[in-house]
Amino acid sequence: MSRSHMQSLGDSQPVLVDAVRSPFGKSGSLYVNTRADDIMVRVLRGLLERNPQLSPSAIDDVAIAAATQAGDQGMNIGRSASLLAGIPNTVPGYSIDRWCAGAMTSVTTLAGAIAAGAYDIAVAGGVEHMGNHPIGEGMDPNPRYLAEKIVDQDALAMGSTAERLHDKFPHLTKERADKFALSSQMKTAAAYAAGEIQRDLIPVAVRSAELGYGIATVDEPPRPTTTMEGLAALKTPFRPAGRVTAGNSSGLNDGATAAIIASAGKAKELGLPVKAKMVSFAFAGVEPEIMGYGPVPSTIKALEKAGLSIGEIGLFEINEAFAVQVLSFLDHFGIGDDDARVNIHGGAIAVGHPLASSGIRLMLNLARGFEKHPEVQYGITTMCIGLGMGGTVIWENPHFTQKAGA
């Protein structure tokens, strides 16, 4: 196996120091009277409070993603949120938009600067308040998309792209999608019962017109009482007699995530923990009408860059935008629907998918998986992206211990 470029960088190899997130809410519910930037600010502060060894003035840059760059997610949220969080005004910041992969792109963009030697340490994040900013708000798709048949109408509705995936792979049935969705709910419930998820949630102040002020401490979307019978009875809003439902899809959600990315050398110098080492990353495009298939080519590309095979990956964090999207990825690589390496704490079908924030949630879950599984050397975080893209990051486990005789 050849060593990747990232692994050969030595002290300049980008590493994940820490990651946190807010509890995720249902769109316009838990955070109905809370601004998006205030959620992001609280998460940034919580991240820095957890890492007192890091002086905020030592941060080289802050990159925050949002899929809707307007209102309380506008005004260059990377800069404005960092100022509101108390990060010194000498630290610059910028905003990122790659729709669902915003936070993932924040991480990879900063990691590229670290690998190039331009930065030593940076903060990445993502936020989406889909209650304040419904998906597609303010967009004005160019008429050429449809008039010149650049894309089909379905490409502009994410649920319709999931139905197209079912068409492309008819053996990925609604029953299989529902079974996967049920598993996500059950794994999330088990992770909550074991205290696995709560330890990385930053409490956020919330306000309700009816209940007054409160503190959000847990995710709002999970449905631990989900059953196959209940899932089978749900409507298919994107197509009559379709296969995509609210039960086997992620919801519309509000929330934020943040992470510290550093060079291996700077992390060692400051005594910062290392939760994962970046090995490679890749983004790739597919037909917009089957947007959910994007993680397949991006993973193939990332594996090639890393000099790895899919068989060397011991943990997978795959964003569950739609169950069929995850199943198409697993099916391509010959991985079982119920493979124990996949989404060990559940996924977005249960906890939610506040668009631009989700990439870091995947990294956070993978890092916790690495701690529990020192026998695993490599893991993947991957997700589909609107208008036909996928993104994949491959990570190495810093806790890896080679088994005797292996």
Reported as a single tens digit per residue, the pLDDT across 380-393 is 999 999 999 999 99
Report pLDDT for 4: 82
Whether 384 is a known active-site residue: answer: yes
Alpha-carbon distance of 84 to 48, in angstroms, equals 13
HEC-encoded secondary structure of 301-331: HHHHHHCCCHHHEEEEEECCCEHHHHHHHHH
pLDDT on residue 404: 42
CATH number, domain containing residue 99: 3.40.47.10
The pLDDT value given to residue 8: 86
pLDDT at residue 403, as a whole number: 66
The answer to whether residue 1 is domain-embedded is: no
Out of 100, 129, 133, 166, the active site residue is 100
Instruction: Give a yes or no: residue 203 inside a domain.
Output: no
Which of the residues 129, 133, 166, 384 is marked catalytic? Answer: 384
- Predicted pLDDT of residue 209: 81
Token pair in block for residue 46: 């919580």
Q: How far apart are CA 361 and CA 356, in angstroms?
A: 10
Tally of structural domains, the chain: 1
332 a catalytic residue: no
Q: Is 129 a catalytic residue?
A: no
| Torsion 51-37-15-330 (CA) sign | positive
Of 337, 315, 310, give the one whose Cα is nearest residue 325. 337
* Per-residue pLDDT at 375: 97
Is 204 domain-assigned?
no
Residue 365: is it exposed, middle or buried by C-beta count within 10 angstroms (0-12/13-18/19+)? buried
Query: Using a CB cutoff of 8 Å and minimum separation of 24, what contacts does 204-210 make?
Result: 204/22, 204/23, 204/31, 204/34, 204/38, 204/39, 204/42, 204/43, 205/34, 205/42, 206/30, 206/31, 206/33, 206/34, 207/33, 207/34, 208/32, 208/33, 209/33
Torsion angle, alpha carbons of 45, 264, 107, 276, to 10: -90
- Taking 3-state DSSP, the helix, strand and coil percentages for the chain, each rounded to the nearest 5, stand at 40, 20, 40
**Measuring CA to CA, which residue among 107, 195, 41 is closest to residue 381?**
107
Supply the range of the domain harboring residue 382: 7-130+251-394
Instruction: Give me the residues of the chain with pLDDT under 50, please.
Output: 1, 404-406
- Residue 401 covered by a domain: no
Question: Which entry of 166, 171, 353, 399 is annotated as an active-site residue?
Answer: 353
Distance CA 279, CA 270 (A): 22
pLDDT digits (tens, 9 = 90+) for 1-32: 456 888 889 999 999 999 999 999 999 899 99
28 found inside a domain? yes
**Position 68: which residue type?**
T
**pLDDT score at 145:** 87
For residue 101, is it within any domain?
Answer: yes
Per-residue pLDDT reduced to its tens digit, 305-360: 999 999 999 999 999 999 999 999 999 999 999 999 999 999 999 999 999 999 99
**Structural domain includes residue 60:** yes
Task: Note whether residue 44 is domain-resident.
Answer: yes
